[in-house]
Chains A and B, each alone.
Chain A
Amino acid sequence: MINLRERGAFHIFFSGLFKRKRYSKYQQTNQNVYSEKLSSIDHFPLYPDLSMNIQVLQQMFHHAPDLVIRHFEFAGKGTKAVLVYVDGLTDKNSISNNVLSALMQSSFDPKKGLPTTVGDVEDVHSWISIEHALFAGDSALFIQGETKAFLLDTKGWPQRAIDDPKLETSLKGAHQGFVETGSQNVAMLRRYIPNRELIIKELTVGVRGKSKVFIVYLGDVASEEVLQELEDRIKQIQMDVIINTGELSELIEDNPYSPFPQFILTERPDAAASQILQGRFAVIVDRSPSVLIAPVTVMSFLQSIDDYSTRWLAASLIRLLRFFAFMITLFLPSTYVAIISYNYEVIPLKLFLSIAESRVVVPFPPIIEALLMEVTIEMMREAGVRLPAPIGQTVGIVGGIVIGQAAVQAGIVSNIMVIIVSATAIGSFIIPSYDMGTAIRMLRFPMMLLAVMFGSTGIMIGAMTLIAHLISLESLGTPYASPLAPFRFADMKDSFIRFPLWKMITRPKSVRTIQSNRQGKPKR
């Protein structure tokens, strides 16, 4: 049994915390000023007199033109009341039909409750909760003579329609992607796992902009220890606001100095649901369309949800291809440099001659040639990413001409180098995870430097260092290189080769699930 509170995990975790500590001083002062202001508001009670309440409101929300304060009277006795909401965060239909029209046509009786047709109604007694609710899209109702306010659920902020995920295109899976509203994302997961064991834990992160964070997992499957660790880390975050899930993932990962991503960020609900079913945790951050999956292993980054709906033989072949592409991207340019500058005796004579023939006009040493081309292709890729589609194509065409033809004809690079650079680029596109692709794209540069300094020995040492790093890396305290080291035969069924689904009866051991069998039955 691997213990979470092991010294190694602690060490890495605290070195991770170190980065946060440096900023925490700045945040501390910020937080103090803000919380002082908050507490001064909280000193005011909720008055029975309407006009006093309005005064406090106006003091709280100065310079807020989108705050609507609507005075009206109930029918019957004519009780005065005020409805307050933020324009733009609320649903206008709901306010006029379900709230205003309903209230104005009936009389108010404190014993009976509100005569409204809104679903969720809540009584509050503090100004802070009113503030939070208003910004979350609720409307607040103040009634003459009451020392409390009613919060009515009228949420309706501008949001995107659910459409195809942009970064992870789906071949055979669902074409729904996560959106920017946390509650909708939770609902999408619920659609896939309609089970009462699907547990949704709500936390709040951020001092200024309280982002809702939901941890979604299977209560009777996922490991208690890992959940505790995940919750602890999220609770320790001290930030003004979390804008995107990527920020959250950097703040809670085990080793922030590692080049490798330690969590999966996905925008596909089917992928997230599949991971939850394997016993992992999904962390949904409100306002962000990507969902964090933890804990993961290095193998998870080479898997795609489409693998499970493709025939298993084809899926296995594609898995192997990905692994091969991983190796190609990482080692091909450096191997080329090492072979050309040091170990040319390794390759057959004829191949060596054809390489020499194409290199004879090139005026640079191999490493300069390689760096030149690799940097060019990285620049082109980065240029293409952020350009609108029509211009992006132009970049592709220009790049194709520069890389494919002109550079070779001008004698700056050799044909072989062009092949190697293109193979590397295509290899990095095959990796399903963008983060992992970026990591290995970055790592091939130090590998090239090692190759030019020490030849094939340098590559070997580089590979050893990577292995050493991968096996000591952990994701939420679980081993990152899991099915390989520590070796777990059962987990190998879903790694290089995807076994047929009926053979994969156990959940991954690296996640340390309570219930190891996938069908929810004990193992025979």
Chain B
Amino acid sequence: MKKYTHNEITILQYIFLIVGTQMGVGFLSLPRVVAEKGGTDGWMGIIIGWILSVASSIIMVKTAKKFPNDTLYDLLIRFFGKILGKVAIFIILGYTLSFSLIIFINTFLYIKAWFLPNTPDYLIVMLFSIPVLFIVRNGLRVIGRYNELIFYMTMWLPVVLLFPLKDGSFLNLLPLFKVGWKSISATLPPVIYSFLGFELVFFFYPFLKKKQYAIHGIIIANTLSMFFYLFVTISCFVFFSPDSITDFNQPVLSMLKVIEFPFIERLDVVILNILILFSSRSWILYMYCTVFSFSQLMNKQDHSLYVPVLLGLLVIGTFFVQPTWMQVTTWQKWASNAGIAVAYVFPVFLWIYSWGYEKFSRRRFS
């Protein structure tokens, strides 16, 4: 039985969905965070993080492959029964919701700090909700198209980072392995946080049209993100001196500030606006997954009703509570830990469980 035939996504859309979820606003501060732990060898952490995330993604796809038409909800109900499954899906729902909120608020704080310091919070959130409402209520196919389009529209972003490199020095990167493996592995938590997003493959998989390419797709997606992060980090390391990079909160933005064209003096302002487009993919997807799981919990086929409710709650929430940078940083730390649990521990557990489940049920039926 195929429930989701009307919302199928192509393999390219599947890749861009995963890439879109992985790239939020985290890359702006990633070079600094990595440099704090591992110095200029920090970029190696990104490669290790990539290996881990690819491994975990493959395990996820392998698990999902056993029940190709099940969403995460169906899968959990099948494995753990009605009550435990619903509890599990409720936890996942909380996880996606908090991720969506954290990325959303992060973007919102950037915009507020840079452009609209005097506008009330709830007005900005209301403004942001308009496009989100238009996209999220439409289902995965339209979100897939959105991700695809934004990917092509923002492909030129890394090219811009090449401009300041003429003032940089590649000697900054040498010598390699000067801090030792311990420091390099200390960079893993923030790196893993930037790779988070592939765990949503459980949500995308049943919609994928050509399921035989699912593993190829997820590896390509992770690799694209890895190259992007690696490129951003290394270009920052080359541009800033090894000691001063930790002084900048968002080294990427500081680096962009240097670029000047005859017709645009401050490219960072333009890029920060494009960042809304860039990071919107991530929070829109997490929000979709939240609303989708919620509608399944409620046994409704149509998720579009809950989108305005959720956004309305968000606007009302920001009317009373004004989030700050400090709060978001704290939340991010919790979310990062939860992310390790959901994206690395949970899939392995689920894979082993599914293996046992298959054996057990086969014995029972034969």
Give A contacts to B, CB under 8 Å: 1-3, 5-8, 342-343, 345-349, 351, 450, 454-461, 463-465, 467-469, 471-472, 479, 481, 484-487
Contact = CB atoms under 8 A, between A and B. Distances in A.
B263 interface: yes
Interface stretch (B111-119, B189-197, B344-352): B111-119
Given A1-B8, A345-B266, 11 more contacts: A3-B6, A7-B301, A349-B265, A455-B116, A456-B273, A463-B277, A464-B131, A464-B276, A471-B142, A471-B145, A485-B145
A472 B138 contact: yes
A464 B129 CA distance: 11
Interface string B94-132: 000000000000000001000110010000100110110
A472 B134 contact: yes
Contact of B146 (A8, A345, A348, A485): A485
A8 B149 contact: no
A458 B126 CA distance: 11
Contacts of B131: 461, 464-465, 467-468
B273 A460 contact: yes
Q: Which 10 A-B pairs have the closest CB atoms?
A: A468-B134, A6-B6, A485-B145, A485-B149, A464-B131, A465-B131, A471-B145, A468-B135, A460-B273, A472-B142
A35 B76 CA distance: 60
A3 B207 CA distance: 13
B148 A485 contact: yes
A231 B134 CA distance: 29
Interface string B257-282: 00000111110011001101100100
A144 B35 CA distance: 106
B280 A464 contact: yes
A484 B111 CA distance: 28
B265 A345 contact: yes
B119 A454 contact: yes
Contacts of B134: 465, 468-469, 472
A471 B111 contact: no
A259 to B, nearest CB: 13
Contacts of A456: 115, 269-270, 273
Given A461-B130, A471-B149, A487-B148, A346 B266 contact: yes
Contacts of B111: 457
B276 A457 contact: yes
A457 B273 contact: yes
Candidate in B128, B131, B266, B280 with the most chain A CB atoms within 10 angstroms: B131
A460 B149 contact: no
A376 B104 CA distance: 40
B10 interface: yes
8 contacts: A7-B301, A345-B265, A348-B263, A458-B127, A464-B277, A467-B131, A468-B134, A486-B148
Interface residues of B, number: 43
Contacts of A458: 127
Contact of B269 (A3, A345, A461, A484): A345
A86 B273 CA distance: 68
B116 A487 contact: no
Interface in B277-291: 277, 280
A485 B152 CA distance: 10
B242 interface: no
B217 interface: no
A321 to B, nearest CB: 19
B265 A454 contact: no
Interface of A is mostly: helix
B316 interface: no
B139 interface: yes
Interface of B: 5-8, 10, 12-13, 111, 115-116, 119, 124, 127-128, 130-131, 134-135, 138-139, 141-142, 144-146, 148-150, 152, 262-266, 269-270, 273-274, 276-277, 280, 301-302
Contacts of B13: 486
Given A464-B280, A472-B138, A479 B145 contact: yes
A5 B116 contact: no
Nearest to A9: B6
Nearest to A5: B6
Given A343-B269, A464-B277, A3 B130 contact: no
A1 B139 CA distance: 16
Contacts of A479: 145
Nearest to B127: A461
A343 B142 contact: no
B272 to A, nearest CB: 9
A7 B276 contact: no
A465 to B, nearest CB: 4
B13 to A, nearest CB: 7
Given A3-B5, A346-B264, A347-B265, A8 B130 contact: no
B116 A454 contact: yes
B149 A481 contact: yes
Contacts of A351: 263
Contacts of A465: 130-131, 134
A57 to B, nearest CB: 56
Contacts of A1: 8
Contact of B7 (A6, A343, A346, A347): A6
Candidate in B5, B6, B7, B148 with the most chain A CB atoms within 10 angstroms: B6
Contacts of A345: 265-266, 269
Given A461-B130, A465-B134, A468-B131, A342 B263 contact: no
A484 B145 CA distance: 9
A347 B124 contact: no
Nearest to B9: A486
B258 to A, nearest CB: 15
B127 A471 contact: no
B285 to A, nearest CB: 14
Contacts of A7: 6, 139, 301-302
B19 to A, nearest CB: 14
Contacts of A467: 131, 146, 149-150
Given A486-B148, A487-B12, A348 B5 contact: no
Nearest to B136: A468
A6 B5 CA distance: 9
A468 B147 CA distance: 11
B135 to A, nearest CB: 5
Contacts of B130: 461, 465
A460 B128 CA distance: 10
B228 to A, nearest CB: 19
